[in-house]
Structure 1
Amino acid sequence: MSRPEAGRAGTTGPVLAGILAVTSAEDVLRVAFDEAERRTVPLRVVASVLSEGDRLVLGDVLECWSGKYPGVSVSTSVRGDLDPAICLTAATRTCCLAVLSAPGDARTAAAVAAVARRASCPLVVLPSAD
């Protein structure tokens, strides 16, 4: 896991869990929930992919992690209709930390690179599970 980079802003606010693929949701949520609990802030989950089946899987994974961290308040939004880089970059403006997974394909690689360049808070990019 990479260490949080110095952010340009965002020293307060929730932790952001950016879900670009349901296959990485478990890892992203594990780190994001832990950081939110440690910092005593809410967790904001922004998912920007997801077929209907993926939404159901994400809901199950999110429910599981919420049960493990009952003291962490969670808000979720699925933004499949908008560019993931734009959604996640905008979300960093009000967050204290953003957690993303390493890209698994060209589309997610572009999104992660764009968020890394423009994030308004520190960013953790988790290593690929491969």
Structure 2
Amino acid sequence: MSGSVNKVILVGNLGQDPEIRAMQNGDKVANLSVATSESWKDKTTGERKDKTEWHKVVIFNNGLVKLCESYLKKGDKIYLEGALQTRKYEQNGVEKYTTEVVLKAYNGEIRMLSSKEQSQHDIDKSNGYQPQDDLSDSTPF
């Protein structure tokens, strides 16, 4: 079917540290659990209501898996783009289905949205890499 789009954009918080696994071919895959929340005021009671939705995210993009492994942790706020995929599996002889947001090797995006202080703390712990804050127009030579 031409002219169709399968794109998911989420902004939410990690419910746990990323789970990194090695596949049989040696590539790594990351599994994330991302929470998105909404709130509203109940018209009849005036009470504030909250609802949290949990999303399963699977990442096959090696660069993004490395980002997850090095910098993301439980509670971090992230932005991600991927596609919905439903797959069938068997558990105890019963066929089951699960729907996941998938970031493949050739598409998908993740951005860290957590506060700079929180992200900097994680960067310092991981490997010492520090992104430049101020990229001025002056050339250093």
Per the normalisation by structure 2, the TM-score is 0.22
Using CA pairs under 8 Å that are at least 6 residues apart, name the structure with larger relative contact order, 1 or 2: 1
Structure 1 or 2, whichever has the larger Rg, is: 2
| Higher strand residue share | 2
Per the normalisation by structure 1, the TM-score is 0.24
| Higher helix residue share | 1
